[in-house]
Structure 1
Amino acid sequence: MGSRFWEGQKRDRGVPTEERLHWRSFLVKLGADNLRRAKNEELFVASHKSVYIVYTMLGDVSIYVVGKDEYDELTLSEVIYVITSSVKDACDKPPTERLFLDKYGKICLCLDEIVWKGLLESTDKSRIRRLTRLKPPTDV
């Protein structure tokens, strides 16, 4: 059960490779220290370099949400709740790593409705569900 990170290509533009690698290694260490003993969907909060991190385990998948300024830990907690709900809806249950990868296209569509170009777009579960039904997962 290795950790996988959802990293949309659009979200990586403009972020130097060295910084991405720093964050990836930081999040892997953070998760290794805390998520091993975590209950399903138990939220953890951390801060690093003036940003907030809210993270959890959903089935076999680690989910991290990072923000700063107006995206504080309270806002990120709401966002991670919508993300975990959307992933469970897409997979019909808390995902195994294999199920997550099988449903990856649909999960990406949900995530694009929640966060677009680094900004919070929607936390309305019914709207997200409705909009993702309109797009085939192959268009991701």
Structure 2
Amino acid sequence: MESKAFEPSVKGLFILDEEGNRIYAKYWTGECKITGNIKSQKEFEKRVAKKTMSMANMADADAIGFEKFVLVFKRLGDNTVMYVLGSPDENELMLATVLTAFEESVSALLRGQLDANSLLQGLAEVCLCADEIVMDGLIMETDSMLIAGRASMAQTLKQIPIQDQTLQQFANSAKEKLANVFR
């Protein structure tokens, strides 16, 4: 088996409100033991919120060791915090880069509105940004403008009526819908 020492990876991306309730969360399998079920994920998120919400200054990204993980987080607005979860040996700067890319791309798509309500209303955009940044735990892209552009293009293509799509757009749309059926 090949070593993955030089492949930066992410164990999870999540956004919580000020009470520790989930707005968005995605975890990737591997040694991350909290991916088993939603109940264990939410319990983990509550513990994370309890630990991090009391920290004085979250205007800048901060990193801590937490339950066998490295956790990089930042307050987005008055009532939300964004988190990136990595393995204990993961480079904190790489995780902070992922956090910045996630925050900036979501902010660009939601026009700077990063409160809990706006994030919930723009959940599709949040999901698309996360999927553009990380795939199966591997970091794919960290350029926030490129991520926002791809995510907004994907949203636009979904809104074009079938009869107005080019053949390539139709094929991509059909492929995506088939993939969703088989998930």
TM-score for both structures, normalised by structure 1 = 0.79
Q: Residue 129 in 1 paired to residue 148 in 2?
A: yes
Query: 1:129 offset after TM fit, Å?
Result: 2.1
Distance 1:127 1:119, change over 3 A: same
Return the match for 2:75 from 47, 52, 57.
57
Q: What letter is aligned with 2:83?
A: Y
Give the whole-Å Cα distance in 2 for the aligned partners of 1:19 and 1:120.
25
Give identity over the alignment, percent. 21
Are the equivalent residues in 2 in contact too, given 1:113–1:128 (CA < 8 A)? yes
Give the whole-Å Cα distance in 1 for the aligned partners of 2:67 and 2:48.
13
Are the equivalent residues in 1 in contact too, given 2:61–2:74 (CA < 8 A)? yes
CA deviations over 1:7-33 (Å, ceiling 9, x no partner):
24xx36682237534522321212222
Distance 1:70 1:128, change over 3 A: farther
- Corresponding residue for 1:32? 53
Give the whole-Å Cα distance in 2 for the aligned partners of 1:122 and 1:69.
22
Return the match for 1:78 from 97, 103, 111.
97
Are the equivalent residues in 2 in contact too, given 1:58–1:94 (CA < 8 A)? no
Give the whole-Å Cα distance in 2 for the aligned partners of 1:6 and 1:127.
21
- Corresponding residue for 1:98? 117
Query: 1:63 offset after TM fit, Å?
Result: 0.5
Aligned residue pairs total: 135
Are the equivalent residues in 2 in contact too, given 1:91–1:103 (CA < 8 A)? yes
Structure number with the bigger relative contact order (C-alpha 8 A, sep ≥ 6) is 2
Cα RMSD after superposing both structures: 2.7
Structure 2 residues without counterparts, runs of 5 or longer: 1-17, 159-175
Distance 1:5 1:100, change over 3 A: closer
Query: 1:64 offset after TM fit, Å?
Result: 0.8
Are the equivalent residues in 2 in contact too, given 1:82–1:125 (CA < 8 A)? yes
Secondary structure of 1:134's counterpart equals helix
Give the whole-Å Cα distance in 2 for the aligned partners of 1:70 and 1:109.
27
CA deviations over 1:42-94 (Å, ceiling 9, x no partner):
21211124321111110132111110266321111111111111121121114
Structure richer in helix, relative to its length = 1
Q: Which has the larger radius of gyration?
A: 2
